[in-house]
Amino acid sequence: MPLLLTETDVRRVLPMADLIDAMAAALAEYSGGRVVQPVRSVLSIGAERNVLAVMPAALDDPPAAGAKLVTVYHRNHVRGLPSHFATIVLTDYETGALTAVVDGRYITEARTAAVSAVSVRLLARPDARVLALIGSGVQAQSHLNAITRVRKLHEVRVWSPTAAHRRAFVADARNRERAGRARLVECESASAAVRGADLIVLATSARTPVIDDADVDDGAHIAAVGACRPAEREMPTALVKRARLFVDSRAGAFSESGDVLLPMAEGGFGPDHIAAELGEVAASRATGRTGPGEVTIFKSLGMAVEDVVAARLAVERARAAGLGQSFDLA
């Protein structure tokens, strides 16, 4: 019978360290051409241009097939609700029968950060110790959790436009010891957070650049996870042009990423500026960082294969642990 997993169930069986390894393998499968995955279908809903996206994927190793339905409602914070909701449906690889319905909100949050952690592991300098978080929402929280799994941080700097939000983030991180022994710093500006940082996470809802090229030091690594539509961007053209650029999916980047498409439209660079997909680096089929002074950027859009692999792992572990609720649609 199919299994229903709540967010609580998923959190119990998907520790971040395991998810990082699972995402590295999924990225390698995708970039190796062993995943069937179209670019997501996106509907714009209402005057606020809220989003409903459909994201299917199938792969042979591990054998899995399914799809995620995800919504992004920009003003949900006013309603006291998360901006993102998601549900993942898995089907049997051999028969197509429904095998599971999995809450995807936490999976979306966690797998995004896990993939960024893969980018840090593969592209950042080994001695990177200072992290700048631009944004203070759930993605910033999850990225702090993930990146501490792959680098020993000395300092974590936090900036977002609302002072109360960044203060609350720092207080919560201290209380929960999410940064380990790293010093937590609330910054008054994005520039103050970014200058001198080895690692920079852009996790905002911004539609225009939130950092300046001049503030990014040589040798920094940037994981940019916001700005997932063609008219939105978090980084200026000069910064993206200066850096060695990596993406999760070339097809996705050329269809959806304003951080790639807008600089191309401005004549900043051409399609060949993308050095590689992260999965190609994970599989040792492409070169990552080429020197300590190089700026590297990983532009993440999120892929259905990440959701399907994460959900499959959650279902496998939940069944073994006796978690979840079986149901029968008949």
Which of 93, 55, 32, 66 has the alpha carbon at shortest distance from 228? Answer: 55
Query: 70 and 130 share a domain?
Result: no
CATH code, domain carrying 145: 3.40.50.720
The confidence band for 11, taking pLDDT boundaries of 50, 70 and 90, is very high
pLDDT on residue 77? 82
pLDDT on residue 179? 73
pLDDT on residue 181? 82
pLDDT on residue 183? 93
Domain holding 222, by residue range, is: 114-303
Query: 176 and 205 share a domain?
Result: yes
Query: 140 and 283 share a domain?
Result: yes
Average pLDDT, the chain: 95
Query: 169 and 50 share a domain?
Result: no
The string of pLDDT tens digits covering residues 231-270 is 999 999 999 999 999 999 999 999 999 999 999 999 999 9
User: b/e map of 194-216 (b: 16 or more CB within 10 Å)?
Assistant: bbebbbbbbbbbbeebbbebebb
Query: 168 and 283 share a domain?
Result: yes
Query: 292 and 316 share a domain?
Result: no
- pLDDT at residue 273 tops 90: yes
Query: 254 and 126 share a domain?
Result: yes
The dihedrals phi and psi of 183, each to the nearest 5 degrees, come to -75, 130
Residue 230 φ/ψ region, left for φ over 0, alpha for ψ in the -120 to 50 degree band, beta for the rest: alpha
Q: Are strands 130-134 and 98-103 parallel, antiparallel or unpaired?
A: unpaired
pLDDT on residue 176? 80
The string of pLDDT tens digits covering residues 37-61 is 999 999 999 998 899 999 999 999 9
Query: 321 and 264 share a domain?
Result: no
Query: 99 and 118 share a domain?
Result: no
CATH code, domain carrying 14: 3.30.1780.10
The string of pLDDT tens digits covering residues 176-213 is 877 778 999 999 999 999 999 999 999 998 999 999 99
What is each CA distance from 90 to 39, 57, 301, in whole angstroms? Answer: 18, 10, 21
- Using a pLDDT cut of 70, give the percent of the chain over it: 100
pLDDT on residue 174? 87
Task: Report d(CA 106, CA 88) in Å as an integer.
Answer: 11
Query: 269 and 135 share a domain?
Result: yes
pLDDT on residue 149? 95
pLDDT on residue 82? 85
pLDDT on residue 230? 93
* Domain tally, the chain: 2
Query: 262 and 230 share a domain?
Result: yes
Sign of CA dihedral 300, 11, 94, 71: negative
Worst-scoring range by mean pLDDT, 104-118, 165-179, 203-217, 234-248? 165-179
Query: 315 and 237 share a domain?
Result: no
